[in-house]
Structure 1
Amino acid sequence: MTQLPWRRERREHYPGMPAWSLSTSRAALEEFHVSRQEEITQQWAWGGSDGSGVRVCVLDTGVEGAHPRVGGLERSLVVSRDEDDRLTVTDCDPVDPAGHGTACAGIIRSLAPQVLLSSVRVLTDGKAGTGAALLAGLGWAIDQGYDLINLSLSTTRSEFQPALHELADRAYFRRCLMVASAHNMPVLSFPWTFSSVISVASHDQADPMTYYYNPNPPAEFYGRGVRVPVAWPGGREIHSTGNSFAAPHITGICALILSKHPWMTPFQLKSVLYLAANNVTSLNGGTHVRT
């Protein structure tokens, strides 16, 4: 079997069985290439990986595909309204009117150089956007089967919480993992506070591969997010600070892990990310160090 189970059609329901169940007396268990996780090290998790075969979608302000630190895009799209005032996701030029999305994409590319990057523009100037546009872009990305979706954005508007929560769960069960940055202010916002996503805040170390597990969620992990050198429109580079730039560091590391272990489900990937964190104790009593 070569096709991933979560990409295949769901099996028919067996009469006399509860919904979602499997009758092992009438059908053999499906083959599944289990990724054994006996002792996780960073070398086991992503050693030798370059992100090949992993598709990543950046929902943001757009991405300047020609930027040297981005290295091209698989697709560039935008959420806009058609002539009937309906929100649609359509192809567009690989440009970024704000810079925020380019910065995030450049970070991902720097860690996982062979990923297939796509951009969906849901924000216009790095701050402004509608909840409806976010929902439309996110729903489209999930349906397209991306392995990872980077969301360096959030909304404080509670009316969008139920729909975002539903999309986050849909993504989780389709093995499309969302990596979301925490808000830069101590306020409640979404979707980073959902348990079905990987939520990221910042640390101030300079090594892009250093990250930490946070035992006091809702932000589960800390990635590099202070004075980060990032790509900027016009082929430029600037230094910027924010949880927005911590999230793509974790997205890049997740891409490396998935490239090496493509059969991992979201809960496996999150477990490996936890076990390989720089502050998590290993079985021999020490802590992980980068190798």
Structure 2
Amino acid sequence: MDINKRTPFSLLVLFMVVTVGNGFDTTSNMLTENEAINYLEKFNYLNETVVKASLPTGAMPISIVEAAISKFQEMVNIPITGKFDEETLRKMAQPRCGVKDVPDNGPAKRYGPKPWPKKVLSWKITEYSKTSTLNQFEQRDAMRRAFDIWAKQTPLRFEYKEGGITDMSIKFATRYHGDKDAFDGPGKVLAHAFLPTDGNIHFDDQENWLLGARAEKEGTELYQVAAHEIGHALGLEHSLVRASLMAPTYTYYSNLVLNWNDINDIQDLYGKPSFKRKNTWWFLKK
């Protein structure tokens, strides 16, 4: 191919492979430079339309690439170098959510264009995991608890239904599964969800879904990932706060709680709880 006829993204890949150096050792927990370019494009750090508009002459300013890398580094709380250093390539290889880090409506807002227009939302699981050792009751209870973590901080209430039409629909699937965002196998993108009022939440059934302490070393914590994806389904985008439930990369937490900015953002959309739950701890006292 004549280099003068390459697209901006073709030039970008060529530019980065030539200028970064001899490359890094490619291991299962570190992306290659070409994979890193695809990563930046997939999660909207490098938007092809923006890149083309900024390159009327077909040149590829390094500033665009460095800005995209820096934006990713800021999002995941690692040193901002603007380079494909080892820590950056390792961070990109971590399991994560499939939702874009830089939303199409711009990076200034942490939530989508509109919330759900009602306070009671119904949900169901249309397809349970076929590979997990968790039974259907355990999978359903993980979802119930994940909805509840948001209900405690808002006036929202969530109702489970066995069938019929619901506001939110949950399914486990593999690879291409009916939307434009195919899953990519174990250990990469874990799940994704769509902003209101779509209601679809999908989990990659090639992951080893577990609950509790077993998930820390043996698999992925379903309740935790479900709570993150429900945050998207309610209208939240990804957070650059390290301890936020809505941070893009997966980290196991033994005691999952909403971060202060998760609470602030969800209450910006829906308000504070309309009533205080009564303390019931004393019923457990002997």
**TM bucket normalised to smaller:** under 0.3
Q: Using CA pairs below 8 Å that are at least 6 residues apart, which structure has the higher relative contact order?
A: 1
- Between Structure 1 and Structure 2, the one with more strand by share is 1
Q: TM-score, normalised by structure 2?
A: 0.25
In terms of Rg, which structure is larger?
Answer: 2
